[in-house]
Chains A and B, each alone.
Chain A
Amino acid sequence: MKKKLFTKILCLLLGFAVIFGGIYAVMDYKYADSIIPIKRFYQQKENSIDVLGLGTSHIYEGLCPAVLYREYGIAAYDLCAPAQAVWSTYYYFVEALKTQRPKAVVFDTYMLNTNTDFDTTANAIKTTYGMRWSRNRLNALQAAFEAKDVVTALNPFNQIHSRYDDLSSADILPYAGNKAYYGKSFKGFATGDEITEITIPDVTQWTAERTFNEKHERYYRAIIELAVENKIPIYVIAVPYAIASDTQSTVNTARRIAAEYDSDLVRFIDFDALIDEMGVDTKTDFSNKQHLNYAGSRKFTSYFGKILKTELELPDRRTDAVYDSWAENADMFYRCYEDFLLKHTDSMETYLQKVQALDDGYTVILAENTGITTNAAADDALIKNGGQPERPAALSDVQYGDLLNARAQAQKAAFPDTFFSQRFGIARHSMQGGIWLRAAGNTAYTQLTAGAEKYTKYLKFKFTDSAYLTCTATATDDGKLYTNTIAFNGKKYSVGINEIGIFVYDNRAEQFVDFVTIAKNEKTVKR
């Protein structure tokens, strides 16, 4: 009887655990910019990290472990969260020291600009919920959440259960569905691939300071003191961004406080003042006013890495098999960096050369749309009227033939057959246009527009990425109009008449790279 009861209770508890665990696993936060970095940090081999980046997005979008590794053999990790308050940074630092013994710590001063005593709920969650349960996490919760919310925050399920409206494929896929950034070799770095021109005023003469909020200063000092206690050199830095006079006051105060420690271990660098020396271009190297992009972070990290290598005795890890994940991370970064460059290439010739040079880890789709119909007169009208399907005045058969011929010559002059064969290895079918799929260095698929009334090719890249390549023959008053389209994840990329469209997908990074169109007689690509 007792055995039966015991079995029942056990089954009940097991059932509850399965239900609860299943819900928890799906609903748990998977913030790629905050929860994942610390969870991955725990997976790093003990005492393997040489340089630890701490702070906000200024660090994880600026200090690139891949560049440090590739150029200097430094093993770095960015243990950060967006807009992470100084207290959370302190507790992250404490957490890091449980398993790592870094040879240098880099801390960004940006959040010292703020004045609040507690985080917003969203930020508090982002900067604490990834931590493992320990006394340190409890302290972090108490520092981040207002007192009234601390008890609720102790049980993350209080928050995560209501995410049912936000669930996405990232909640069930490994690496949150984004291998490019958060694959197994992820080292905390993730930057933007946009380009925004920013203005950085000259604030070098601005010497004013500002009074820090008491809690901010207390934790700022605690970070420095923790580094000094553990005899770890700490670089307090200001990562370049569109700084203003008031934020420069923060930098000045942070510099003065760092100097108060009068220790070789505490070093301060304001990289905003070194923009020119680093070669960071305000026109091309920022993704927005706050953050460096791929190009900017590469330049900044390269410069900073030189300082680190010069000032500290950092081992070269490039030949150490233990650090293979850093090598993989660097491969991925430089691959994404090339994708970034391609995405921002405007010259048609350069673009085509880059596409030609892509390795077999890319899928390239070409679509040529000549706007051909089965009605020759309408074809001529399309050419004459810039693609508008307007019926021309009645022409004789001879005149039709001449126009058709003229059009063919014009088309071939703009995009000759050799354009396709030499650049892409594609045998183009005279004038009809079509869709060609190039994968792993070969033409994997060809569909000429004249070949079908409607033909759709479905491409599956990864769980969340797919494309439809469609050739359609649409009945019009003038006959049939053939068009080619590429639809990627529901977004339609159209190729205009007498244009060529190029779609590039990076299979290894598992990300869409770019789609451009090339019009005849143009020297630049259109996006």
Chain B
Amino acid sequence: MPTLSFSYTALPYLLFFAAVFGIYAVVPKSMRAPWLLLAGFGYAILLSPQSAVFALGVLAVTYVAGLLLGGDIYKKQKQAALTVSLLAIFGLLGALKYGGLLAADAVKLVNFFGGSWQPRIKTVALPIGVSFYSFAACGYLIDVYRGARQAERNFLKYGLFLVFFPLFVSGPIERADNFLEQIDHIETIEIIDAPRIGAGALMILWGYFLKLVIADRAALLVNNVFDRFWAYNSFALFVGAVTYAIQIYADFAGVSCMALGGAQIFGFSVTDNFDAPYFSTSIKDFWRRWHISLSRWFRDYLYIPLGGNRKGQGRKYLNILIVFLVCGIWHGANRTFLAWGLLHGVYQIVGDLTKAKRRALYDRLHMDMTRLPFRVISTVCNFLLVTLAWIVFRADSLTNAGIYIFRMFTQIDLWNVMNGSIYNLGLDNTEMNILFIAAAVMFFADYWRYKKKKNVPQLLTAQPPLVKYLLPAALLIAVLVFGSYGMSFPAQAFIYAEF
């Protein structure tokens, strides 16, 4: 039997989206929230029935816990309720993500000490979206516990907060105070609002461009280089690493744009996950711009409760390491993610420790940090540091990451820069040129955003009519023609849908 893909870039998803919106537009206002909740579970079932069951489980547990936390009970009882519910959610998440890895390590440990234990370890596939809606639910519980918001008594509305289908697969991790409040006013949303729908559609189109034209094309080169890194020298490995930096950004920013645009069409405003992250001038700045909803979650629900920077420098650095370690854990069951998280933590700490000395040095050298050349150099250096960390993130194991980086810095063959060998890394001339041009467009749009603080639809809306209509048309043509889809291109899953 043919199987249908309901990935955000698949035609069945677009048809599903159109059908849900069509009905959303005509049902009575009081039925909007129930309909979207039904659609959310319908979408989860289409992805996999297991995903729907998990979502329902998390929804039920956190709904009840929310009511308890918001109820008239003693503080200790609230603490117990919060602890139990968070342990349940994070325990489940941990078991799903790390169960297999921990079990395998336990077996290795036993056998290391002379045992001959060879159990059959059965791992459960991670339900789609679980990392995102679980974090949203826990954030909500903490908010209720803190008294920052009321518990949501309407099960349908709370359910919609967790399983709103445009956000289901890859977030953003929406905050209850923002999203539940919008759900409260769902009946006042003007459904046919052309500018809003147009902006949402444009956002989705931009997301398709990032995902299909850039990320999935880059994946072909990246997969080739990372799978055969031992056969390549510095130039190819450098190109592979930089291309991966482009791929993961285009991939995740792409799906975020699709989520944001999709929500916008339904009349909801959600967090924009990216704010030109590769134009940041420091690692700290990078985390203000990368996966913003997750960064804020960690800041508000982990870093600040741990004491933040209020308990001395040593504690501050420890807190940073903890936050980035957890951030690494969140990404999945591989030590490479832990190492990647720690590396970012170390980057931040070293950056903070050397900040005063660096400034003194710049002053002594009469370097003006506000001047463009300085900012460009800072941006490039920061990008290279982030890219170095992406190698650890992308590699199959820490050993492979180490070898990759070692070869990149020791097997020098920079003379290959000009001899066309870049076209032999998995993409031929045409495909490489398309990737190059598309990535340039992406960075140009990001630079625009960095300067003007506006996203792509907002920027286009401000253009003269001809540009306003021609650019989206060109974008549409680029997606239709140069998008990596169909049998000629191996399907690439969304990277962040796997976390």
Contacts and interface: CB of A to CB of B under 8 A. Distances in A.
Interface of A: 5, 8-9, 15-16, 19-20, 23, 27, 121, 142, 147-153, 155, 157-159, 161-162, 164-165
A153 B481 CA distance: 17
Given A5-B192, A23-B481, A161 B473 contact: no
Contact of A152 (B477, B481, B487): B487
Contact of A161 (B194, B430, B486): B486
Given A19-B477, A152-B486, A164-B482, 13 more contacts: A15-B469, A16-B476, A20-B480, A121-B487, A147-B3, A148-B3, A149-B487, A153-B487, A157-B480, A161-B483, A162-B488, A164-B481, A165-B430
Interface-centre pick from A20, A152, A159 (highest chain B CB count, 10 A): A152
A462 B488 CA distance: 33
B209 to A, nearest CB: 14
Given A15-B473, A165-B430, A159 B482 contact: no
22 contacts: A8-B194, A9-B194, A15-B469, A15-B473, A19-B476, A23-B477, A23-B480, A23-B481, A142-B2, A147-B3, A150-B2, A151-B4, A151-B5, A152-B486, A152-B487, A153-B487, A155-B11, A158-B485, A158-B486, A159-B487, A162-B486, A164-B481
A5 B190 CA distance: 14
Contacts of B11: 155
Contacts of A121: 487
Contact of A19 (B5, B473, B483): B473
A9 B192 CA distance: 11
B489 interface: yes
A159 B477 CA distance: 15
Interface string B182-220: 000000000010100000000000000000000000000
Give the one of B11, B483, B489 with max A CB within 10 A. Answer: B11
Contacts of B469: 15
B1 interface: yes
Contact of A151 (B2, B194, B476, B485): B2
A165 B429 CA distance: 10
Interface residues of B, number: 23
B476 to A, nearest CB: 6
> Which 4 pairs, one residue from A and one from B, show the smallest C-beta to C-beta distance?
A158-B486, A150-B2, A162-B488, A151-B2
A21 B477 CA distance: 11
A150 B487 CA distance: 10
A164 B480 CA distance: 11
Contacts of A159: 486-488
A108 to B, nearest CB: 28
A5 B197 CA distance: 12
A149 B5 CA distance: 11
B195 to A, nearest CB: 10
A27 B481 contact: yes
A157 B488 CA distance: 11
A79 to B, nearest CB: 25
A451 B365 CA distance: 74
Contacts of A27: 481
Interface string B99-117: 0000000000000000000
A150 to B, nearest CB: 4
A162 B430 CA distance: 11
Contacts of B3: 147-148, 151
Given A19-B476, A147-B2, A158 B481 contact: no
Interface in B288-308: none
Nearest to A24: B480
A16 B483 CA distance: 17
A146 to B, nearest CB: 10
Nearest to B428: A165
A23 B469 CA distance: 18
Contacts of A153: 487
Contacts of A149: 487
A148 B486 CA distance: 12
A149 B473 CA distance: 29
Given A150-B2, A161-B481, A5 B194 contact: yes
A524 to B, nearest CB: 44
B489 A162 contact: yes
Contacts of B2: 142, 147-148, 150-151
B96 to A, nearest CB: 27
Contacts of A147: 1-3
Contacts of B473: 15, 19
A392 to B, nearest CB: 49
A151 B485 CA distance: 13
Interface string B414-455: 000000000000000010000000000000000000000000
Nearest to B482: A164
B217 to A, nearest CB: 11
B197 to A, nearest CB: 10
B486 A164 contact: no
Interface string B464-499: 000001000100110011110111110000000000
Nearest to A146: B2
Contacts of B486: 152, 157-159, 161-162
Contacts of A9: 194
Nearest to B476: A19
A23 B194 CA distance: 27
Nearest to A2: B192
Contacts of B481: 23, 27, 161-162, 164
Contacts of B482: 161, 164
Contacts of A15: 469, 473
A152 B3 CA distance: 10
B21 to A, nearest CB: 14
A15 B476 CA distance: 11
A371 to B, nearest CB: 42
A16 B14 CA distance: 16
Contacts of B485: 158, 161
B488 to A, nearest CB: 4
Contacts of B4: 151
A415 B46 CA distance: 82
A164 B430 contact: yes
A384 to B, nearest CB: 48
Contacts of A152: 486-487
Nearest to A151: B2
Contacts of A155: 11
A152 B192 CA distance: 32
B363 to A, nearest CB: 53
A157 B479 CA distance: 12
Nearest to B192: A5
A15 B469 CA distance: 10
A500 B340 CA distance: 75
B35 to A, nearest CB: 23
Contacts of B487: 121, 149, 152-153, 158-159
A135 to B, nearest CB: 16
- Most A CB within 10 A of own CB, among B12, B473, B485: B485
Contacts of B483: 161
B216 to A, nearest CB: 12
Contacts of A150: 2
A5 B476 CA distance: 21
Nearest to B11: A155
Query: B192, B482, B487 — which one has the most chain A CB atoms within 10 A of its CB?
Result: B487
A151 B430 CA distance: 28
Interface string B1-24: 111110000011000000000000
Nearest to A156: B486
Nearest to B429: A165
Nearest to A5: B194
B34 to A, nearest CB: 27
Contacts of A158: 485-487
Nearest to B484: A162
Contacts of A151: 2-5, 12
A438 B473 CA distance: 50
A165 B489 CA distance: 14
A153 B488 CA distance: 11
A402 to B, nearest CB: 59
